[in-house]
Amino acid sequence: MRERDEQKQKAIKEKAMQIVAKQGIESFSMQKLAKAAKVSPATLYIYFKDKEDLLLQLCKEAGEKMMEMTFKNFDPSMSFSEGLKVQWVNRAKYCLKYPDQLMFLEQIRYSGLHEKYMGMMNESFKINMHSFVHNAIKRKELVNLSVEVYWSIAFAPLYNLIKFHQAGKSFGGRKFVFSEKIMMETFELVLKALQP
């Protein structure tokens, strides 16, 4: 009888996360993972039902961590500028601390698994964000926008800076390092764009 080993399972998960983050979800396979994690394919199937089961477990863990960090010191009744600032700082911290998880979730976003992942996630994320935005619109601190436009202005600039940072460069090999100063500079412009 093969024993389940928590440490081993953790190591396998970490390896899987890295592979998807670095090489994409399309080329990810249990065989590839087995080789990289130096275990037999049979061992992987002791811990996980199939490839989808493994990927969804990873989604759940990464998503929970992301949520936990995003909502630290955050309250949906905060003023818009204050709340968005807390979110920027928290999201930046998460991205810088867990770059593999960030890339992993990015891969999931555009894959067939995304809907299943969203279905698994805690509703509190949606509810929190929703009430934050609605409060802000009611108080006339935020223009009324579609969720896609809102997100593209409110958060995408931050994620883009982090992408440059993680690549170490931006255009034409121009060196780039993320900093609090750059973040706040961008944040002020984002705030300007979103205020009525």
Partner 1 sequence: MPTQKTLYKALQKINAVYVLIFKTTIRFKKDVKNIAPILDAEHSVIKWNVDRSDVDHILRVESFNNNINHIIKLMNTAGYDCEELTD
Interface residues toward partner 1, by CB under 8 A: 1-4, 29-31, 39-43, 45-46, 49-52
Cβ 123 to partner 1, closest distance in Å? Answer: 24
Nearer to partner 1, 2 or 181 (CB): 2
Nearer to partner 1, 40 or 131 (CB): 40
Nearer to partner 1, 1 or 177 (CB): 1
Query: Among 30, 1, 6, 4, which Cα is nearest to 16's?
Result: 30
Nearer to partner 1, 31 or 179 (CB): 31
Cβ 12 to partner 1, closest distance in Å? Answer: 14
Cβ 48 to partner 1, closest distance in Å? Answer: 9
- Amino acid found at 153: I
Cβ atoms 124, 70 nearer than 8 A: no
Nearer to partner 1, 7 or 77 (CB): 7
Q: Token pair of 179, please? A: 């900093």
Length of the chain: 196
Residue 26 makes CB contacts below 8 A (sequence gap 6+) with: none
Cβ atoms 85, 155 nearer than 8 A: no
Check residue 127 and report its DSSP letter.
H
Cβ 53 to partner 1, closest distance in Å? Answer: 9
Task: List 175's β-bridge partners, or say none.
Answer: 169
Cβ 4 to partner 1, closest distance in Å? Answer: 7
